[in-house]
């Protein structure tokens, strides 16, 4: 089984992907973690590294190519990242998580220990604009186009356990279909 989990910053993709990977003993491939690690290696925060990536397509392309290569060559993976649903073409299940901006900003504020909610909102808007621009320029992808996804879930209303239950139902149906084929 190959599963992708995508969504905007703060939507809960990493939490759900980790939970599913642990539950199924799948390998987790996180584009966000690779991006964060690359920023750290260069001594930049996420906003600075995002601005650098706007002028250096090789950063996004390296992350996406690495994830695609690993995900398409093995089974039992969860690929988590903004473009995973677009990049891992042979995924059995592609999930998009969404939540309102206010909810996502509160999560980002708590997670990233920013000084205040206004700063979290500003940084989130800048990051999303930077990413949307890069995806459009580098891949001709509109991040708001959810057509590649099989399942779109609202993480504001559901916690990780609840989301996992919904995903488990989808996995079960996919596996039943494979058994019949």
pLDDT, one tens digit per residue, over 30-77 is: 887 778 888 888 899 888 888 888 888 888 888 777 777 878 888 999
Residues in the chain: 181
User: Is residue 171 a part of any domain in this protein?
Assistant: no
- Return the closest-CA partner of residue 18 out of 29, 2, 7: 29
14-18 contact pairs (CB < 8 A, 24+): 14/80, 15/160, 16/95, 16/97, 16/155, 16/160, 16/163, 16/164, 16/167, 17/78, 17/80
Domain membership flag for residue 114 = yes
pLDDT of residue 71: 80
CB 158 within 8 A of CB 166: yes
Q: Which domain range does residue 131 map to?
A: 2-161
Our count of domains for the chain comes to 1
- Residue 18 exposed, middle or buried by CB count within 10 Å (0-12, 13-18, 19+): middle
How far apart are alpha carbons 30 and 17 in whole angstroms?
A: 8
Q: How far apart are CA 3 and CA 58, in angstroms?
A: 25
27 lies in some domain: yes
* 149 within domain boundaries: yes
Assigned domain for 168 exists: no
The pLDDT value recorded for residue 179 is 65
User: pTM for this structure?
Assistant: 0.85
Number of Cβ within 10 Å of residue 85's Cβ equals 26
Q: Domain for residue 87, yes or no?
A: yes
Residues of the chain scoring pLDDT < 50: none
- Is there a domain that residue 176 lies in? no
CATH number of the domain encompassing residue 7? 3.40.50.300
- 179 in any annotated domain: no
pLDDT at site 178: 74
- pLDDT in the model for residue 34: 78
Torsion-angle region of 173 (φ positive above 0: left; ψ -120 to 50: alpha; else: beta): alpha
Dihedrals phi, psi of 75, to nearest 5 degrees = -95, 170
Tell me how far apart the alpha carbons of residues 153 and 134 are, in angstroms, rounded to a whole number.
Answer: 25
Helix (H, G, I), strand (E, B) or coil at 102: helix
């Amino acid at each position: 089984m190959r599963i992708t989990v995508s969504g905007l910053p703060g939507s809960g993709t990493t939490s759900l992907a980790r939970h599913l990977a642990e539950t199924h003993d799948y390998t987790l491939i996180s584009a966000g973690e690779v991006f964060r690690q690359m920023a750290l290696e260069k001594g930049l925060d996420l906003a600075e590294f995002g601005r650098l990536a706007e002028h250096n397509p090789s950063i996004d392309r390296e992350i996406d190519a690495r994830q695609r290569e690993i995900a398409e060559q093995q089974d039992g993976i969860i690929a988590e990242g903004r473009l995973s649903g677009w990049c891992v073409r042979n995924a059995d299940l592609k999930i998009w998580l969404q939540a309102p901006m206010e909810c996502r900003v509160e999560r980002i504020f708590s997670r990233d220990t920013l000084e205040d909610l206004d700063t979290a909102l500003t940084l989130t808007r800048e990051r999303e604009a930077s990413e949307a621009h890069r995806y459009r320029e580098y891949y001709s992808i509109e991040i708001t186009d959810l057509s590649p996804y099989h399942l779109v879930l609202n993480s504001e209303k559901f916690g990780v356990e609840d989301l996992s239950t919904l995903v488990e139902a989808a996995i079960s149906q996919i596996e039943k279909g494979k058994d019949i084929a």
